[in-house]
Amino acid sequence: MSEFEPKIITILCNWCTYGAADLAGVSRFQYPPNIRVIRVPCSGRVSPKMILSAFHNGADGIWISGCHPGDCHYITGNYYARRKFMLLKNFLEYNGIEQGRIHFSWISSAEGVKFAEVARDVVESVRKLGPAKYFIKKELDDNDLCSCLNKSNPDNNLAKNILEEQAA
Amino acid sequence: MTMNINQSDINKKQIDIINQQYTEKIREAAKRILLEKKADVVIGFKNGTEPMKTEPCLITKASDVDKLIWNEHCRLNLANYVKGRKDKVAVVAKGCDSRNLVNHIIEKQIKRENLYIIGVPCNGMVDKFVNVKESKVGVESETMQKNLDVFLIDRDMLQDNCKTCISRNPVIFDEMIAEPVKERVWTKEEKLKERFESVNKIEAMAESDRWSFFNDMLSSCTRCYACRNACSLCYCPTCFVDESRPQWVGKGVDPVDVRTYHFLRAFHCAGRCTDCGACEAACPMNIKVRLFTKKLDKECFESFGWEAGMSLDERPPLDVYKVNDSENFIR
């Protein structure tokens, strides 16, 4: 059996950690390819909606990274973000999400080494937890449609019609 | 257990007298306010269509003030009907309502000068389902009223949030309709232990148990949004549940969508919730939605020493920061 490869949604601030990712690449520091980067203007832009949405769409882990406190391009964005993240992390864990699914870091654009290092740690910690178990949305398949419309009932033409239409 | 306020001492008769006094005073105040044109509208409670239920009521004519009432079933939060109004509004406010009015003023939903607060010292609200237990389903309403004669505001009958209330008297008001009631004096330890007892219990569970606990709890949710609509904190022009590009949360009763809805709704109330209990009072399925908001309350209290709506001079915790805020969870 091949080893589980986690998918990790990584939300990086444009001014620091995105730069760090670039630097890590240019400097050829090795880090695992499990991360999918989303660039945001500031870590303060990150909303809990995005985190849950990532889980809905099949992320196994999430990593959010921005500028060190005091270095925010918008002066105070990451100070506000820090309070929000603390509540978010604790609230996710209160809801039953395992510790280690969601990670936060401050990485400046000069810290390519730290970027590669944290990326490795994040991937390893999520790999250990295995595939995400919670907040996964199940796609509706034909079986669900049938049970919704009660296809087993021979008089129910609606279900048949819909399925036939889909097939055509 | 050391309780400074002993609710069981107050019997039904006393409650009746208090209710009558309060009702008269509220009507008197409403009439005066409307006649003196201190406000264009008075927001209070009127009797509901069922016994032991009340409805919010907007009075604009002095001749209508006799509709207004006060009793131990005024569970909803009247601050909900104030937000965004441009006219002068008088509101009947118990302790928690007044804290939500403070929230509205801080969040610029209403101007203080447009608000006239009729303060009501609160003796606690009775849990909506206690009534149902007391009376038999299907009995005619007159009999139901009679059953109330044995009724005492006992600690067991109070709404959960009233049992650990920190501000029974209004925080801000323009006039009080009665002498303030006695407030319990809390220590920080007592607050953490008693006010957040339900949260502490869940925190003590294993991770996977917590997930299934909440899933079971929410399995009866029909997504009617009564909790959202009753909440005085909800006023986004477009609610996240109605957003379609992108659609953050599905519309149905898929368990994941229900979880997402409750998660995000609670998160929107972080650092703002006054634990008024309107959400639970409004829930037709009796889901304990306060278990979510309460956790965030606890976090804000523990980390920022914050209790929402207690002062006009402080900004809510997610609107401010400290340079040395804790960041031990960030690498």
Instruction: Specify the pLDDT at position A165.
Output: 74
B326 domain-assigned: no
Note the ipTM here.
0.88
Q: Which domain holds residue B138?
A: 7-176
A74-89 mean pLDDT: 95
Beta strands in chain B (DSSP E): 41-47, 54-59, 68-69, 89-93, 115-119, 175-176
Closest CA to B97 of B290, B275, B237: B275
Residue among A99, A121, A135 minimizing CB distance to B260:
A135
The answer to whether residue B34 scores a pLDDT higher than 70 is yes
pLDDT of residue A153: 52
Residue with the bigger pLDDT between A133 and B129: it is A133
User: For residues B148-178, b (16+ Cβ closer than 10 Å) or e, as one string?
Assistant: beebbbeeebbbbbbbbbbbbbbbbbbebbe
Tell me how many domains chain B contains: 2
User: Both B83 and B157 in a single domain?
Assistant: yes
Q: Are residues B26 and B168 in the same domain?
A: yes
Please report the pLDDT score of residue A70 as a whole number. Answer: 93
Answer whether residue B14 is part of any domain: yes
Same domain, B81 and B199: no
The closest alpha carbon to B248, from B237, B233, B235, B264, belongs to B264
Q: Is the domain of B232 the same as that of B297?
A: yes
Assigned domain for B329 exists: no
Q: B223 with B284, same domain?
A: yes
Listed residue (B307, B42, B22, B62) closest to B165, CA to CA = B307
Residue A89 contacts B where some CB pair is shorter than 8 Å: yes
Inter-chain touch A91–B260, beta carbons under 8 Å: no
Which of B260, B317, B323 faces A52 most closely, judged by CB atoms? B260
Q: For B133-143, what is each residue's pLDDT tens digit?
A: 454 333 334 44
Please check whether residue B296 touches A, CB under 8 A. yes
Domain boundary among B114, B149, B176: B176
The mean pLDDT value for B242-266 works out to 93
* Tens of pLDDT, residues B295-329: 999 999 999 999 999 999 999 999 999 999 999 99
Report whether pLDDT(B26) > 60: yes
C-alpha distances in Å from residue B176, one per residue of A32, A68, A110, B24, B30: 65, 50, 61, 13, 12
Tell me what pLDDT residue B137 has: 38
The string of DSSP letters for chain A reads -PPP---EEEEEETTTHHHHHHHHHHTT----TTEEEEEES-GGG--HHHHHHHHHTT-SEEEEEEPPTT--TTSSHHHHHHHHHHHHHHHHHHTTPPTTSEEEEE--TT-HHHHHHHHHHHHHHHHHH-S--SSPPPPP-HHHHHHHHTTTSTT-HHHHHHHHHHH-
Residue type at B119?
G
pLDDT at B153: 62
Pair B28, B163 in one domain:
yes
* Whether residue A167 has pLDDT greater than 90: no
| Residue carrying structure tokens 């059996």 | A1
Residue B331: inside a domain, yes or no? no
Given B123, B143, B176, which residue is the final one in a domain?
Answer: B176
- The count of other CB atoms within 10 Å of the CB of residue B113 is 7
Question: CA B102 to CA B128: how far, in whole Å?
Answer: 26
Whether residue B302 sits in one domain with residue B235: yes
- State whether residue B256 sits within 8 Å of chain A by CB: yes
Q: Out of B130, B152, B176, pick the residue that ends a domain.
A: B176
The domains located in chain A, with CATH, are: 8-129 (3.40.50), 140-168 (no CATH)
Percent pLDDT > 90 in chain A is 77
| B159 pLDDT tier (thresholds 50, 70, 90) | confident
- d(Cα B122, Cα B98) in Å, to the nearest integer? 11
Residue B53 placed within a domain: yes
* pLDDT tens-digit series, residues A18-62: 999 999 999 999 999 999 999 999 999 999 999 999 999 999 999
pTM, two decimal places = 0.87
